[in-house]
Amino acid sequence: MSTRDSIPASATAELAPARVGPVHDDGRRRVLARLVRTPLGAASVALTTVLCLVGLLAPALAPHDPFAIVGPSLDPPSLDHPMGTDGLGRDLFSGVVLGTRTSLTVAGGVGMLVLAIGGAVGLLAGYRGGWTDHVLMRLAELLQVLPRFFLAIVVIALFGPGLDRLVLVLGLTSWPILARVVRSEVLSLKEREFVDAARAGGAGPARIVMREILPNALPTAVVYVGLLLAQVLLVEASLGFLGLGDPNVASWGYLAGQAQRFLRVAWWLSVFPGLAIATAVVALNLLGDALTDALGRPGGGGGRGR
């Protein structure tokens, strides 16, 4: 008698996780419902959605080239220039709008790198264990102690400023914590009954990891990435503030840095870029907290077999 035949059909049906498809859709709808049920959750979703739309539609929303002189120097906010102009007569509103795309591009690129690298390392270390787990976790610890901000400064000093370099250096140094989070989830999930049922049903390691473990570990990983993006925005803004950002694109940090000379005579130059940075960071932090709350409640998860 085979291993599969030795398990009663009723027990197998009870232990086996639901199939991918409608169950996942229902889970996502439940998470979204829990996410917008609270005022903070609804605010985080609304703010994040607005930021994403502004970033996507930035070229259409910006009335001027952010580097073009289009008005008088240090002109206060008006109908022609809703956020005023800077010391050279450049439209600040256009700079803030296009700066949204720059910040979201950096945050999105870093987030995808972190999710891919950290998720893969965490899955492999947690599922394989042994020396594989030991080597990968020691590597994660080595990268975790590196000062990302100063490393980014060194890379920019050596290779010049550029969004691609910034995304690479932040993405390649920000995944260790996510890897440890995913590893801890995998260590717990691989001992669950639905994984034992899949293994008894003849599923191989790759199928178990991709079909049973990954969907259940992914929500926790996404929550962490959401919180990480707020840190990435601050790092990108800090580099721009110091004049180490890409000089060919507008960014919030660059605008805030240019406002230093005019703090006493042109309040709008520092207020509007600062508000944009604060709004984005608060929105992403609130979204991460709301996702943690939504996925942590009973019935809130979108995974299977939990």
What average pLDDT does the chain have?
82
For residue 296, name the pLDDT band (cuts at 50, 70, 90). Answer: low
Closest CA to 284 of 237, 239, 215: 237
For residue 195, name the pLDDT band (cuts at 50, 70, 90). Answer: confident
Q: Give the DSSP per-residue string, 24-88.
A: HHHHHHHHHHHHTTSHHHHHHHHHHHHHHHHHHTHHHH--S-TTSB-S-TTPPS-SSSTT-B-TT
Closest CA to 220 of 296, 298, 139: 296
CA distance 274 to 201: 56
Residue 216 has pLDDT above 60, yes or no: yes
pLDDT of residue 275: 94
CA distance 212 to 190: 9
Mention every residue, 6+ apart, whose C-beta is less than 8 A from residue 73. 85, 86, 87, 88, 89
Domains annotated for the chain, with CATH where assigned, are 40-296 (1.10.3720.10)
Summarised one tens digit per residue, pLDDT across range 112-151 is: 999 999 999 999 999 888 899 999 999 999 888 888 888 8
pLDDT of residue 136: 93
Alpha helices in the chain (DSSP H): 9-15, 22-35, 39-56, 58-61, 92-128, 130-144, 148-159, 163-173, 176-189, 193-200, 205-207, 214-241, 252-258, 268-296
Residue 36 has pLDDT above 60, yes or no: yes
Residue 302 has pLDDT above 80, yes or no: no
pLDDT of residue 4: 41
Average pLDDT on 175-199 reads 88
Summarised one tens digit per residue, pLDDT across range 56-114 is: 999 999 999 999 999 899 999 999 999 999 989 999 999 999 999 999 999 999 999 99
For residue 176, name the pLDDT band (cuts at 50, 70, 90). Answer: very high
> Do the Cβ atoms of 133 and 186 come closer than 8 Å?
no
Q: Is 147 helix (H, G, I), strand (E, B) or coil?
A: coil
Instruction: Please report, as a single letter, which amino acid is at residue 172.
Output: L
